[in-house]
């Protein structure tokens, strides 16, 4: 509303990417649309995960979606992946590699203790400027491993 004021503490949260706009509808009262409020120093990338992106491709009905948020000031990383159809996943990682290439593990993701379909970067995860540059050019992907596909059942190129 007009003349709304915020204090320094609320501004600090806002400037660090800690606020979002949420649009509620009768069909989705908890929020149908969400937009994170970010300052120019943040880079946000959303990406899908599928078996088709695996190298070689994997036939699966499992799917996923993820996002990566990097603060350009200190290269801190927030990354989350939500999956469906891979409740038996044994691990998930960020790997180094361009689309169509397999590569080494950059960072192991942690599985949410209360939701086996949610994986995230460890708290206080950070990149270097060089790793961020490669990430920004599409040089990393998330891979979700299962017993049926230990090399990866779902892959999502972060680009």
pLDDT tens for the chain, 159 residues long, are 899 999 999 999 988 888 999 999 999 999 999 888 888 889 999 999 999 999 999 999 999 999 999 999 999 999 999 999 999 999 999 999 999 999 999 999 999 999 999 999 999 999 999 999 999 999 999 999 999 999 999 999 999
Geometric angle at alpha carbon 91, from 87 and 94, rounded to 5°: 120
pLDDT at 39: 86
CA dist 133 and 107 (Å) reads 16
pLDDT at 38: 86
DSSP one-letter string for 65-115: EEEEEEETTT-BEEEEEEEES-TT--EEEEEE--TT----EEEE-EEETTE
CA dist 108 and 81 (Å) reads 12
Q: Name the one residue in this structure whose structure tokens are 């949420």.
A: 22
- For 85, other C-beta atoms within 10 Å of its C-beta total 16
pLDDT at 18: 86
């Amino acid at each position: 509303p007009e003349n709304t004021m915020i204090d320094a503490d609320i501004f600090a949260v806002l400037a660090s990417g800690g606020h979002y706009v949420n649009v509620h509808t009768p069909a989705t009262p908890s929020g149908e649309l969400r937009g994170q409020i970010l300052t120019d120093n943040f880079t946000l990338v959303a990406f899908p995960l599928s078996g088709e992106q695996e190298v070689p491709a994997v036939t699966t009905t499992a799917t996923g979606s993820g996002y990566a948020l990097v603060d350009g000031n200190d290269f801190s990383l927030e990354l989350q992946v939500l999956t469906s159809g891979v409740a038996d996943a044994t691990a998930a990682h960020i790997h180094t590699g361009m689309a169509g290439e397999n590569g080494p593990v950059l960072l192991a993701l942690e599985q949410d203790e209360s939701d086996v379909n949610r994986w995230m970067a460890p708290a206080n995860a950070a990149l270097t400027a060089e790793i961020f540059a490669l990430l920004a050019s599409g040089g990393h992907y998330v891979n979700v491993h299962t017993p049926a596909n230990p090399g990866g059942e779902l892959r999502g190129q972060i680009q």
